[in-house]
Structure 1
Amino acid sequence: MPPHGRRRWSSIPPIFLPLLLLLVASTSAVSSAVLGVDLGTEYIKATLVKPGVPLDIVLTRDSKRKETAALAFKPLSQKVNTAASTAYPERIYGGDAVALSARFPKDVYSNLKPLLGLKYGSDGIIDYCAIHPELQVVESKVNGAVAFKSDSFTAEEEAFLVEELLAMELKNIKANAETMAGKAYGIKDIVITVPPFYTVEERRAVQTAAELAGLKVLSLISDGLAVGLDYAKSRVFPTVNSGGKPETHLIYDMGAGSTTATVLKFQGRTVKDVGKFNKTVQEVHVLATGWDRSLGGDTLNTIIMDDMVKRFTEKTTVKAVGLEAKHVKSHGRTMAKLWKESERVRQVLSANSETSASFEGLYYEDQTLKYKLSRSDFESMASQYHDRVQRPILDALASAKLSINDLDSIILHGGAVRTPFVQRQLENLIKGSDKIRTNVNSDEAAVFGAGFKAAAISPSFRVKEIRTFDNSVYPVVASWTIEGKEKQQKLFVPTSTVGTEKQVTFKVLADFEFSLSQEVAEPGASSALLSVSRTRTQNLTQSVKALSSQAGCATNEINTQFAIRLNPADGLPEVTSASVSCESSEAEKKGVVDGMKDFLGFGARKDEQQPLQDADKSVSSEGSDPTSVLESPTTSVPKAAVTHSEASNSVENKTAPGKKVVTIALGFKTEASSLSETQSGHHESVVKRLLAFDVSDRSRAQREETLNNLEAYTYKIRDILQDEGFIEASTLTQRNEIEQKSSETSSWLYDDGVGAARDVLKAKLDDLRNLVKPVQRRKEEALRRPEAVKQLRDGLQQAQTMVQIIRQQQEEQAVATDPSSSTPSPVGEAETSQVSSTSADDFAGLDDEPTSTSTLSIEPSDVPKPLYSKQDLNTISERQESTQKWLEEKEQEQDRLSLSDEPVLLFSDLDARTKELNELITNLLTKQMKASKPRKSKPSKDGERARTSTPKSSEAAETNSTSSPAEPEPTQATEAEPTPAQAAESETSTDGGNWAERTSDPEPGQGVPSIEEEMEIRRIQQEIDERLAAEKSSIVAKAEANKTKKAKKAKPTAKAKGQVKRGKQSKEKLKDEL
């Protein structure tokens, strides 16, 4: 019986085990790659983590380390109506899309990140339209969010949501990552960086975009925490358990669209490991954050662009035509040129004190602008932003209740921090530059942190253990209505740690609904509540009645409690479980719990309630005023105090003698409430449109591939027509036809073929190939035919040699089995013949010495069986003769044809005939090798090999006791003389023993050797053929000579009588004679 751990394998057939292992390995490979994405305003960067490739930047199609966050629709010849057409505009990404902004300003969508989660008409929309004036921004009919109308589609086409356009960009990033990872790895899991100030609307918009792109969001991580994680992964911090002081750093991140300041605490901590062991882990805590939503590189670019417009409109020629700044700013092509150049000017001024730019055809074709700007002038124009550069740091420190002196360093991140104006303001704030650090990659630290986070979450990887603790940023408020009065209670504060769970007690005894909201307050504006979710109880009323009637609880002692936590994946509040409980003063009675179960059928449905699984975590309890929520200080609730279970709906907990706590799990239903969630009905149509785009892109790529193949083939034909072999295999008429067809196709390509469909292009390509391929086939046949004929003739020669050997062996076998050629003594007699090694007269005067003799019984079974049958001979001889005849006839027919005629002697036919002969010869050689394989002999007691006179004999020859091991005694035996066939077989076996032994015998029941045997046979076949040809005549001659020589020496007697004594001299003489 197999061990317990292995019994289950016995139910799986062994033949399926490799397939099972392959399936497990392939599944692991496909699911092991993860992606980290830094979703920036201007650029999108990604890192790939897969086995063997830790944290590698995903390159774009043009091998850049970051992709411009831009998407363009390249219009078709006519506007697309998706209801009647399957062709969609071509999508172009990155820098190529930005390059089209001057040509197609209505179809280039860049810097979409600030628009996520915004309602139509928000201030952010106004600022965005000022930079991109020709984009058709509309209000979505689905949820009132921002949407875009494309000029490439008809007016009836539904507008594109920001999430849909961002999903296309994420799909492009995913495709680049899969190309880099290889076909064996599929990418589904992703971690995305977001600014810490993102609200529920913006966070869910990012998640929606990722889902539309076919990605699963493992977590959203704030930009500052991602940079801190990258900073911590290669460092070890003081251990607080040992009295070490934590390090405090501030991450100052200024990107293209916003600026954030994040205060982080880095420390080590010793925690319990497996068993009795401990381990030290690193921790990164977010203490506080500050931000400016609209301050970034784009703001500084806008300063330069406005100055360009001002100088352009001040030109005399521009004033003459009445052109004003508002006209220029509403012109899409002009603004696209100015915006692109303003960014370049700012970047150049970061390293140079002065730069210039020039424009031609600005607004009007005859208008030009030569622009020059110094760094001092630029900083003078940007002086209005001095305070805004410093404000995020001050806000973060105030929220963390720290000062500049408490910081160990200020770590810079983001592209805009390279601007000297920004760095100078930071130095002014901290009174020097000693704390400013650039010890992280200012472009890629965040994306590396996101990739590390993805690897840490994924079960496929094991990384350094770094525990992160982010903040909720915004307060979380619970709102509900009771007896016509609206109630609110703050559950979490801005510094609450993500992942924290609280037990909130409500003094509500009937089914009710409450909502969870974020309290968002922007600088200079009043706070507003953004709804996160709505939760409604399902069996609260019935549960209260059950507690009153079955457990005898008073209504004023019944508590309704909900477990609410900040989701670790996105930082948003969620309800994890709910229960109603009371303390009963009645004596415990049997069947109370069962009675309530029969009354209610307690518990919530599994698809609507997901309770926490970790009951050992410390939770806090908070409530409101006595009229609404029972408030209590934050404490650690014992594990047995509250029950969160779906399977068990009622639990009795004893608290004191004569008292018990009865708890009933509540069912509840939660609905998310945000702009992105209200798109659920629209989600399916968006997915279909994205799939239609993908199909159109694939069709376009296939058409372009066919077009390129056709164009390349027309050029290839020009070279083919000059080839000598092609000329010999074709006629002048055929070449003229090919040349004319190629010339017509080439002209058509640059005329009507530009917009031709793929089917038309493929038909043109097939027409050309059908003209060229027959000639090329004849050319190839003429080149390969001589070698193929030679190989077939060699095969025929081998077959002829094999036929002769088989016939010779069968003739010798017939002679050996003929009764007239046998020894004089009768075969059936039981007597044995004894042959003395020498005559007695020759050794009469010598000292007697014991000698050895051997006897051999000659029986009919001693005659060797035939190696080949008559059927073998007939098969190979008939195949050889028919093939020889076929070859001669085909050669005669082929000789009457020219090279330009269709051949009758084809390489494929020659090869097939050669393979048939080789296979037949191989089978015969395999049979011979099996028969000639040497038998293993057993060693005798004295260590020498036993020698037998025939394979059937079991008598071992005795050796002379006085003989030397180096000089073995010849065996004296009266054995039957070998026939010529036996001698030939012996010679063949001896000569071919080495190669025959290296080849395995065929499996029983198989007529054809295995793959390994055939490979070995083919390797040595040439050697066998040469050996057979060289020894064909010598084998028979040796056999005949041996027979004649031994017939003269042999003196058979009727019986063996005694032993002949001989001396040492006679032994040497006997050796010479034998």
Structure 2
Amino acid sequence: MSVVGVDFGTLKTVIAVARNRGVDVITNEVSNRSTPSMVGFGPKSRYIGETAKTQEMSNLKNTVGSLKRLAGRSFNDPDTQIEQSYIFAPLVDVNGQVGAEVNYLGKKEKFTNTQLIAMYLSKIKQTAANETKLPVSDFVMSVPVWFTDIQRRVLIDASEIAGLKLLRLINDTTAAALGWGITKLDLPGPEEKPRRVAFIDVGHSNYTCSIVEFRKGELVVKATSYDRHLGGRNFDRAVVDHLQKEFKGKYKVDIMEHPRALARTLVAAEKCKKILSANQQAPVNVESLTPDVDASSMVTRQEFEAMIEPLLSRAHVPLEQALADANLTKDDIDVVEVLGGGSRVPALKERIHSFFGKTLSYTLNQDEAVARGCAFSCAILSPVFRVRDFAVQDITPYPIEFTWEKAADIPDEETSLTVFNRGNVVPSTKILTFYRKQPFDLEAKYVNPDQLPGKINPWIGRFSVKGVKADGKDDFMICKLKARVNIHGVLNVESGYYVEDQEVEEEIKDEDGDKKDPDSISGRADRFLNKLTRTFSDKAMDTDNKEEAPKRTRKVKKQVRKGDLPISSGTAALSEAAKAALLEKESAMVMEDKLVADTEEKKNELETYIYDFRNKLDDQYAEFVSDDEKAKIREKLDASEDWLYDEGDDTTKAVYIAKFDELRAMAGPIVQRHFEKVDAERRAAQERLEAERAARRAAEEARKAAEGDKGADATKDEEMTDAEAKPEVEEAGEGTK
């Protein structure tokens, strides 16, 4: 099972996996380390990721981007209208949620944003599975810190529709902070001053600053602030606005009135911005601005910085707000870590540097840091991996309050309460106590709707508490409700129960906090009593009636849990039935895409076979085919080729397979003759090789035998020499004697 982290971005998505005792960023089907965050629709199938980007220019009205920015929005939300300026497919209302109307399989279809995100996550799941060669189920995904409850629920629902188990929704900068801190071995201890780091993330559409405190084995987010409309795409738009005026005067073309011209200019503006990050000037070339106009221009860095000055002037605001919320000063910050593709703009880096007065740190990979942090978080939460414990304590971005109807028997009862304040720890649980005689409802909503992004509905959910009843006319049931903001940042009333006040006896134990001064009168009395008790106890051991020392108890009032209270919840999340229906629909579309891909593959196989076999007729198979056979086969191949580019251009997978099998059957005898010759040549070569080996073995054996005979003769000669020499020595010895 793969452990996957996904940085789901507005422009592109990065996937990281935990493996090989570390974290790797994986590549997609075209070996890119990021995948475009868009979905396109065609007459036969969908285009997702790289394929959607490839066909975007020719299919603008059926290609949807900015998927994340549309999550949880209504059609009338002003932020939806902002996104429409970056999306060329028409956005529409679909049952109260924003969606897109596109041409799919030859007819008009409307898909909600939740469905579009689920489609994209299905592709991310497939990409991860293809790379790791393992099934993908558990994953952690990043979200902007400003996402509300309804926006987070959309991502959770989309994950389930895509067949994924979302272990955690983690804020972008928190994920980056985890990736930064988990590898540090020199963090201060629990009693030491924490290391404070400001993480500044400049993404494609967001600008976020988080102040994070690190100690050994944990990170605590102290404050987060953001600008939702300051990022790389806003710099691109500033260049587009400049080029619009220039092209209008130079070529008499208003790009805002031509969607394809605007799309091409956006691409050119992004490229210009990237070049200016490292150069003083950059050319802008837009081919086919209109069918008969190729546009060009030149932009200097000085001009570019003048264009984006209104954006740069806002850069300090989130930084000041984050420091104020954390009750810190610039001098309290130890490290300023910058990440995100938009942070490469030199003028923006200079503004951040001048604000903090510190050298900026770039130890994290600016494009991949969030995905790596998500993978670390997934590894920590997954039972598959063993990871060094690292606690992550995040905070809520908006205050949440509960409201309810006043109880008739409690005239002075308050009807609302802010339960989770801004900056409250996440995850966090609060117990709410109500005195009621009958079932009741309560609602959760955000306190200040004006602080929410766009016109997001501040309503979070309605929770109905069942099974409430009082025993007597004047009695109340004491109801306890457990409200929790979970690890995803989503609020639920998880459970309810009722209690009763009862007097219970509990043992008095000195070690339980009821200790007395040993030198006091009562302390001396207790010691005397204990000594006396032990004396009697010791004597009792000599008898048959052994008794334990009496326990000292007291009566106290305690709330004792008596039973559970059923709770029914109504939230913005999809019902289980709706999710099951969308999951079935998504699975059907996945199979449709797979069938189209397989059909295209069989078509390509047929085309390749036609060209390959035609070439082999004059080369590899020339000696195995007669002129008549060659003529007939060529005629068949030409007919198949003509069919393929005419009526066979769009047919079924089965037809392509049948055509392919027909050609292979016709070519079978020729291929068989070629195979038989090749096989005969192979056997002959093998026989020659065996004969050569046998000859070499025989020669080697003969050589060894010859060497053995020579060795035997030499030994005999040596023995004869010794035998002949020995008497001479003896005779010489006797003569001497």
Q: TM-score range by the shorter chain?
A: 0.7 to 0.9
Q: Which moved more, 1:775-784 or 1:402-411?
A: 775-784
CA-CA distance at 1:428 after TM superposition: 2.8
Change (3 A) 1:751 1:404: same
Question: Structure 1 residues 764 and 481 mapped into 2: Cα distance closer, same or farther (>3 Å)?
Answer: same
- Check if 1:559 corresponds to 2:478: yes
Alignment CA distance shift 1:786-1:48 (3 Å):
closer
CA distance in 2 between partners of 1:309 and 1:71 (Å): 28
Instruction: Identify the match of residue 692 of structure 1 among 546, 564, 588.
Output: 588
The change in CA–CA distance for 1:460 and 1:660 in structure 2 (over 3 A counts) is: closer
Give 2:285's aligned residue: 358
Q: Distance in 2 between matches of 1:438 and 1:62?
A: 28
SS of the residue corresponding to residue 415 of structure 2 reads strand
Could you list the per-position Cα deviations for residues 949-996 of structure 1 after superposition, in whole angstroms to 9, with x for gaps in the alignment? xxxxxxxxxxxxxxxxxxxxxxxxxxxxxxxxxxxxxxxxxxxxxxxx
Distance 1:408 1:727, change over 3 A: same
Name the residue aligned to 1:146.
Answer: 98
| Whole-Å separation in 2 of the counterparts to 1:787 and 1:339 | 62
Structure-2 separation of matches of 1:387 and 1:334: 30
Deviation string, structure 1 residues 368-407 (Cα, Å, up to 9, x no partner) = 4322211112211222223421111111111111111111
1:237·1:247 contact (CA, 8 Å) conserved in 2?
Answer: no
Q: Which runs of 5+ in 2 are unaligned?
A: 507-551, 687-737
Please point out which of 47, 61, 67 is paired with 2:16. 47
Equivalent-residue separation in structure 2 for 1:507 and 1:207 (angstroms) = 34
Aligned position for 2:136? 187
What is the Cα deviation at residue 355 of structure 1?
A: 1.2
Q: Distance in 2 between matches of 1:725 and 1:309?
A: 62
Which residue of the partner structure matches residue 240 of structure 2? Answer: 305
The yes-or-no answer on 1:516 pairing with 2:465 is no
SS in 2 for 1:510: coil
* Aligned counterparts, 1:848-863, within 5 A: none
Aligned to 2:700: none
Q: Offset of 1:666 from its aligned partner?
A: 2.7
Per-residue Cα deviation, 1:158-180 (whole angstroms, up to 9, x for no partner): 41112222222222221121111
Establish whether residue 251 from structure 1 lines up as the match of residue 199 from structure 2: yes
Displacement of 1:267 after TM fit?
Answer: 0.7
Ranges in structure 1 where 5+ consecutive residues have no aligned partner: 1-31, 77-87, 269-281, 589-653, 792-1074
Say whether residues 1:490 and 2:446 are aligned partners: no
Q: Counterparts of 1:63-102 in structure 2 under 5 Å?
A: 63-73=31-41, 75-76=42-43, 88-94=44-50, 96-102=51-57
1:577 aligned onto 2:495: yes
Indicate how the Cα distance of structure 1 residues 483 and 102 shifts in structure 2: closer, same or farther if over 3 A, else same: same
In the alignment, which of 601, 606, 609 is matched to residue 713 of structure 1? 609
Q: Which of 210, 213, 236 does residue 262 from structure 1 map onto?
A: 210
Taking the aligned partners of 2:346 and 2:29, their CA distance within structure 1 comes to 33
What is aligned with 2:181? 232
1:503 pairs with 2:471: no
Q: CA deviation at 1:128?
A: 1.6
1:719 Cα deviation after fit? 4.6
SS of the aligned residue for 1:197 comes to coil
For residues 824-864 of structure 1, the C-alpha deviation after alignment (integer angstroms, 9 at most, x for no partner) is xxxxxxxxxxxxxxxxxxxxxxxxxxxxxxxxxxxxxxxxx
**Aligned-residue RMSD, C-alpha:** 3.1
Instruction: Please state whether the residue corresponding to 1:436 is helix, strand or coil.
Output: coil
Cα deviation for residue 527 of structure 1 reads: 10
Distance 1:38 1:727, change over 3 A: same
Alignment of 1:879-958 (within 5 A): none
> Which of 445, 449, 473 is the aligned partner of 2:397?
473
Contact 2:143 2:171 in 1 (8 A): yes
Q: Which residue of 2 aligns with 1:343?
A: 270
Structure-2 separation of matches of 1:701 and 1:35: 26
User: What is the TM-score when the length of structure 1 is the normalising length?
Assistant: 0.56
Q: Does the 8 Å CA contact 2:338/2:360 hold for their aligned counterparts?
A: yes
Does the 8 A contact of 1:726 with 1:776 survive in 2?
no
- The structure that is strand-richer by fraction is 2
Q: 1:138 is matched by which residue type in structure 2?
A: V
Q: Displacement of 1:37 after TM fit? A: 0.3
Compared CA separation, residues 522 and 288, structure 1 to 2 (3 A): farther
Shift of 1:721: 3.2
The change in CA–CA distance for 1:473 and 1:724 in structure 2 (over 3 A counts) is closer
C-alpha offsets along residues 217-275 of structure 1, whole Å, 9 cap, x if unaligned?
A: 0001111111111111221344444x42110111011101111111100012xxxxxxx
Equivalent pair of 1:726/1:779 in contact (CA under 8 Å): no
| 2:732 match | none
What corresponds to 1:750 in structure 2?
645
**In the superposition, relative to structure 1, how do residues 786 and 55 fare at CA in structure 2: closer, same or farther (>3 Å)?**
closer
Give the distance between the partners of 2:666 and 2:399, measured in 1 at CA.
77
Name 1:457's counterpart in structure 2: 381
Cα 1:777–1:534, aligned 2, differ >3 Å: closer, same or farther? same
Alignment of 1:989-1028 (within 5 A): none
Of 168, 172, 192, the match for 2:119 = 168
Contact map agreement 2:77 2:454 (CA 8 A) in 1: no
Greater RCO structure (CA 8 Å; 6+ sep): 2
Deviation of 1:49 (Å): 2.2
Q: Percent identity?
A: 25
8 Å CA contact retained: 2:495, 2:567: no
CA, structure 1 residues 198+765, in 2 after alignment: closer, same or farther (shift >3 Å)? Answer: same
Structure-2 change in CA distance of 1:778 and 1:562 (3 Å): same
Change (3 A) 1:101 1:509: same
Q: CA–CA distance in 1 between the matches of 2:262 and 2:105?
A: 23
Secondary structure of the structure 2 residue equivalent to 1:437: coil
> Secondary structure of the residue that 2:60 maps to in structure 1?
coil
Query: Is 2:224 the counterpart of 1:289?
Result: yes
The amino acid across from 1:195 in the alignment is P
Q: Would the alpha carbon gap of residues 555 and 742 (structure 1) be closer, same or farther in structure 2, given more than 3 Å must change?
A: same
Q: Partner residue of 1:36? A: 5
The 5 Å alignment of 1:557-706 reads 559-568=478-487, 570-584=488-502, 656-657=554-555, 661-674=559-572, 677-678=573-574, 682-706=578-602
Cα deviation 1:536-557 (Å, max 9, x = unaligned):
222121xx31xx59xxxx726x
Distance in 1 (alpha carbons) for counterparts of 2:405 and 2:553: 33
What is the alpha-carbon distance in structure 2 between the residues aligned to residue 231 and residue 415 of structure 1? 17
Tell me how far 1:515 sits from its aligned partner: 2.0
User: Residue 205 of structure 2 contacts residue 231 of structure 2 at CA under 8 Å; is this kept in 1?
Assistant: yes
Q: Is the Cα contact below 8 Å between 1:225 and 1:286 reproduced in 2? A: yes
Quote how far apart the aligned CAs of 1:656 are.
4.8
CA distance 1:524–1:391, shift in 2 (3 Å): farther
Distance verdict in 2 for CA 1:734–1:427, change over 3 Å: closer
Residues 116 and 162 in structure 1, CA contact (< 8 A), matched pair in contact too: yes
Amino acid at match of 1:230: G
Give, in angstroms, the shift of residue 518 of structure 1: 3.0
Is 1:137 matched with 2:137?
A: no
- Post-superposition offset of 1:305: 0.7
Give the letter for the 2:264 counterpart: K
Aligned residue identity for 2:193: K
- Cα offset, 1:360, TM superposition: 4.1
- 3-state DSSP of counterpart to 2:85: helix
Amino acid at match of 1:68: P
- Counterpart of 2:63, as a letter, is V
Normalising to structure 2: TM-score of the pair?
A: 0.80
Tell me the CA shift for residue 759 of structure 1. Answer: 2.8
Deviations 1:309-337 (A, max 9, x none): 1112223x52xxxx6x5xx3242111111
Paired letter, 2:371: V
Distance 1:90 1:788, change over 3 A: same
Give the structure 1 partner of residue 154 of structure 2.
Answer: 205
> d(CA) in 1 for partners of 2:451 and 2:483?
29
Deviation at 1:786, TM superposition (A): 11
Residues 559-597 of structure 1 deviation map (CA, whole Å, 9 limit, x = unaligned): 3222222212x1222223322223246999xxxxxxxxx
Structure having the higher Rg: 1
